Amino acid sequence: RQHGARITMIASRTLVCAASTLASRISPRFQRGNTVRALASGKANGIGRRPILIGGVAGVTTAQMGNLGNQQARAVEAAPAPDTAAMAPAVAAIAALKPGAKLADGAFEVLAVNEVPEYNVACVELVHLKTGARWMHCGADDPNNVFNVAFRTTPTDDTGVAHILEHTALCGSDRYPIRDPFFNMLRRSLSTFMNAMTAADFTCYPFSTMNETDYYNLLGVYLDAAFFPKLSREDFLQEGHRLEFKDMEDKNSQLELKGVVFNEMKGAMGSQAARFNRALSATLFPTSTYHHNSGGDPVSIPTLTHEDLTRFHATHYHPSNARVFTYGDLPLERTLAKSQELALGKFDRIDVSALDVADERRLTAPVKVEVPIPADPVVPDPNKQSAVSVAYLMVNQIKEKEAELENFALTVASDLLLNGPQAYFHETLLESGLGSGFAPGTGYSSSRRETSFAVGLKGVAEADVPKVEAQIQGTLERIAKEGFPKERVDAIMHQVELGAAKVSTNFGLGVAFGAMGTWVHGGDGMKPLKIPVLAAKLQAAIDADSKYWQKLIQRRFLDNSHRVTVVGVADKDYDSKLEEAEKKKVAEIEKSLTEEQKDAIVKEAVALRASQDGDQNADILPTLKVSEAVPREIKHWNSLITKTSGGFDLQIDAQPTNGITFANLLLDVSDLPDRLVPYLDLFADFITELGTKTMDYKALAQEEKLKTGGIGAGVDVQQSLDASAPPRVYVSLSGSALDRNVPAMFRLMADVATGAKWAGEDARLGLLLSRRAASAGAGVSQNGLSYAKGLANASIDPVAALDYRTAGLPHVALLQRLSREKEAGVEEVAAALAEIAAYALARNRVMRCRISAKPEACDPAVKQMEAFIDALPPRGADAVGDELTLAQSLASFSGAPSKTFVATPTQTNYCAASYLTVPYSHPDSAPLFLLGQAMSTSFLHREIREKGGAYGGGASAAPVEGVFVFSSYRDPNTTATVETFEKAAAWAAKEGNLTQEILEEAWLKAFKAIDAPLAPQSRGASLFTNLMDDESRQLFRDRLLDCTPGRMRECAEKYLVGKTPALAIVGNPASVPDVKKAGWTCVDAEGNPLKEE
């Protein structure tokens, strides 16, 4: 099994901000989330060293490629009859089916059966005879069952009709005619995934769950929503767009545009990256459906009518235009029969050929366009704000004869061109100094009917744009002459093998998404599972033709006339111009309205509000019973706690990791000089990026890719579960490798830990800093919620304050200063990182270590871990004299709740309100955790999303940190939302509002997070990172299950009502005057006070 989907979805339905914080650190992460690192690190943004991905699923080989390529290809092509006796029952049942067989009382016919031993699954493709609907099922020995129904949706404009339909379809249906079955089911289910998504050319409705009753409950709700939605005008007005007076019932007050999707897309399109990406796609696809924004452009969304929406549903949401994917260990026949009974059997076949996506009309000569784009919120050099990208339209995956092999080969080529410091464009573009990082959209995309490749730079001076184009052309010409070195191709094939071996909990979802990109167009739904064959075929092709890569580059790049160059010119007033245009448009509409039309707007608004406030009978929806579905006892991972031969604490987790060993070592840095704290995350991020005494950074990256699944470092905090001990800050060194490569992995880790080249790599360090500074500055708007929460939490909690110093807006400001100071900034960072290394990378800093591997691989790995620890210096440097240490800084923290507004170029807002509560082991911690779930679903969803028009909003308790946070996401409001947070607390504290039914739903939401499936390598992680043993986990679980509505109410009264929260908003500069009047401190994205205008 392997990584899940890598499909770019325009939009999805789930309440993002609540979902993202649901689990908090009940199962702590290996490292704290760093928004800046996630943006700046190649390892996190899609250009990093990680397993190769094809069509949504990681590639796979099961043997060293070498001379086995041809043998493997022949073995697959001439596979013997499956040995069903050796298979799991769910796999054997599918493998035993024969083409032509009829299932579900003759409603379905088997078209093809394929066993895929590399993934331990067997797949069957069927056709629904009455309608022509296609169905693919993967039988697997996996209880995390998946359902996904998709429709080809082909927009012809930018109104977002497919996206708004995706939202509105989930607002009630024939069998479930209540206001919002989807969000109601989120709290009545133990689903491991529930969503709906709009891609460029299809819309899908996926879910997964490990509970059989839950699976059939959700199946019924999803089928009814997809095929029989209400699509009422009222729901269209709420989810899509509407005109409404600021004072809803006063037609003389200001007229405004509202709507969930309208505001969602304002946020989604509110960055330079989003706007540039959209321009790139529109230019590359001038005539086909991909020219249009399927999510909707906020400028065009208000032109969509309710009648347009219902027409689009009638023509697109029909079984004849449907693809259904299922996966797991549940019997296929019952799912087919239920689907026939509830939906498919009620339709007849229709002609859907009019929905076919036409081939893009290929250009006969290259095209170059210039487009305006928003300026990034923070830029190191105001004279370098342009972006330029060259894009190529490539493989027609439906019509080209060798499409599958070419697609795979181009994915490998993309990795060689872009991935890591040894990649060609890293050298010729990133190291050229012409830009600050790869342009948005850089990479190879195979998720659409026709594939494409784009590469370019952002942070470019306008005068340097031609130089970037010349560098791209020259690099490709060089490869067309020289080809790719064999050792680099071998390294990618190793990553392909590793990607296949790594066990993932969302394998089925990965296939469900990966199949749709071509399957909805009549292509092969088995595409994501064909990587073993394609890897073998590619190796055979390379072996047979020494010029294979040269010919591919010449054909697909240099001789390709369908090439477009897009130059984005930054406009600092881009968003304000959109705001002004919207205001002018609304003012013109308002001026033209008759009194009767104004009355109609008021009437619709009042009716919508009455519907939102009205009671809905959710009892018509199916639900699970906690007493039946949730076990009281925790899952035990049976971690072994012992000592290394050198006396260091060691945790061994013997788990079915499928031939991969995972290693982790924690080094205590609590007594690090506090002045070095701002550089801690740079230390963790750069430790593997500068080379070592024995190899330069390119050779290190190549060796890492050839021998490991990655080595690296992170920074995190171990917090006492009962607050009886001070927090301990640590650096975590980690790595993973195939069992056969564990010695090589530890040699690399030792080489990095003892010989990282902190000095002498000024050019490389300068490049890393400039890229990180550019990414951090660009990401403030899009990651506004993370920054808002971080700012609020940092004003009241010492550990959060530490996080904020190393990963929040102070870090953004530090990066900009370092980048602007150039050589002086590099010198400053190099000295700080060397000092941290001298302190941290020593045996006396070791807290504990961990090995996770299959049982027989544990002992050999432990010996390698011991040798690694022995290679570290015995003692690290100490703080000098009475110098303030990190631990002392944490102990002396004195908080004062913030009330800060951060102005950044965006059209929406991200709001946060934080309250200090209690630690994990406190009796009130569990009720507070449930309170967050209850308030999110029973109050905040209605008030913030449905009424307020925000894309999302919710509340969550972080039990380990002892913080309770309210938040909103892509929100048109500011202080009104903060008032809603206060009302939520008062609502929860009022006797009778929190009922047993609400508690039951809160339990289900809580336990779907707590009991979510864990990959084998993650089992035991919470014990290792935060000493969360079985006893403490069981006590917390017991307190959850023993909670009452009264206990939740008491906690709302005790910790929220009447308390002063820490407040932070990251948002639209147009809101500054209003929040200033309300007493807020207003700053820019670097934390500088805003100048008075």
Catalytic machinery residues = 166
Phi, psi values for residue 612, rounded to 5°: -65, -35
Residues 463-479 as b or e (16 or more Cβ within 10 Å = b): ebbebbbebbeebbeeb
Beta strand pairing status for 846-853 and 649-654? parallel
Residues 322 and 128: their CA atoms lie apart, in Å, by 10
CA 719 to chain centre: 26
Phi, psi values for residue 70, rounded to 5°: -65, -40
Residue 911's nearest CA partner among 976, 848, 849 is: 976
Query: CB of 413 within 8 A of CB of 419?
Result: no
CA distances from 89 to 82, 95, 101, 329, 844 (A): 13, 10, 19, 8, 52
Phi, psi values for residue 14, rounded to 5°: -60, 150
User: Token pair of 565, please?
Assistant: 């160059």
Residues 19 and 1006: their CA atoms lie apart, in Å, by 11
Beta strand pairing status for 899-903 and 1062-1067? parallel
User: Token pair of 798, please?
Assistant: 């010492």
Residues 919-930 as b or e (16 or more Cβ within 10 Å = b): bbbbebbbbbbb
Across the beta sheet with 909-916, what order do the strands follow?
A: 952-958, 963-971, 909-916, 1062-1067, 899-903, 1081-1083
Query: CB of 743 within 8 A of CB of 818?
Result: no
Beta strand pairing status for 102-103 and 57-58? unpaired
Contacts with 148 (C-beta within 8 Å, 6 or more apart), sequence order: 204, 205, 206, 207, 324, 325, 326, 509, 512, 513, 516
Helix H or strand E encompassing 492: helix 486-501
Query: CB of 670 within 8 A of CB of 887?
Result: yes
Residue 286's nearest CA partner among 388, 206, 366 is: 366
User: Token pair of 572, please?
Assistant: 């600092």
SS (H, E, C) 708-741: CCEEEEEEEEECCCCCCCCCEEEEEEEEEEEHHH
Beta bridge partners of 611: none
SS (H, E, C) 843-887: HHHEEEEEEEECHHHHHHHHHHHHHHHHHCCCCCCCCCCCCCEHH
Q: Would you call 770 helix, strand, or coil by DSSP?
A: helix
Residues 94 and 648: their CA atoms lie apart, in Å, by 49
CA 371 to chain centre: 28
User: Token pair of 105, please?
Assistant: 């009382």
Query: CB of 110 within 8 A of CB of 116?
Result: no
Task: Give 511-535 as a DSSP string.
Answer: HHHHHHHHHTTTS-TTGGG-HHHHH
Q: Would you call 114 helix, strand, or coil by DSSP?
A: strand
SS (H, E, C) 331-400: CHHHHHHHHHHHCHHHCCCCCCHHHCCCCCCCCCCCEEEEEEEECCCCCCCCCCCEEEEEEEEEEECCCC
Query: CB of 240 within 8 A of CB of 262?
Result: yes
